[in-house]
Amino acid sequence: MIRVKEVSVIGTDGEQMGTFPTREAIALAQEQDLDLVEVSPNANPPVCRVMDWGKHKYKANKRAHEAKKNQKIIHLKEVKFRPNTDQHDFDFKVKHVQRFLEAGDKAKVVIFFKGREIVHREGGEKVLQRVAEAMEDYGVIEQTAKQEGRTLTMILVPKGKKKDS
């Protein structure tokens, strides 16, 4: 697949072998039962390495799999309130938000307005403020109150995970 006249070749031990015509470099790699892999196609002349391509690909997949296994996936959990949610229901839902934040997940607090409640947006903002005050010890506000149609949303992240934007 290498379409240039000559290439700079690096051996299996990482040592520079010199510049060879492409056919000669491929023959050199085949003598060792290895492959000639283009490492830097933009260089002049392009740099190729003598290596076992299958083994290289296998190790790269292993590294990618390990990296994926070790990463922490953060979910966005949602809790819905109404602007006139009673105290007991409020406390119950705030406990859910607290549990989500303690588990390391983000929490999206949504105030849903029905009918003409949308006219009194400040009622929803008060609920969001109460949630923020209740969650001071567990999380910080990532996104402040934002209106999207008939909903008012706020996103909280666990303490120590706030993104600087």
* pLDDT per position as a tens digit, 24-64: 999 999 999 999 988 888 888 899 999 999 998 999 999 99
Its pTM surpasses 0.85: no
Mean pLDDT of 69-77: 83
* Confidence label for 161 from pLDDT (cuts 50, 70 and 90): low
The Cα-based distances of 120 to 24, 83, 143 in angstroms read 79, 9, 21
Print burial letters for 86-120: b (CB count within 10 Å at least 16), e (below 16).
eeeebeebbeebbebbeeebbbbbbbbbeeebbee
Catalogue all structural domains in the chain, each as residue range(s) with its CATH number: 6-70 (3.10.20.80), 76-158 (3.30.110.10)
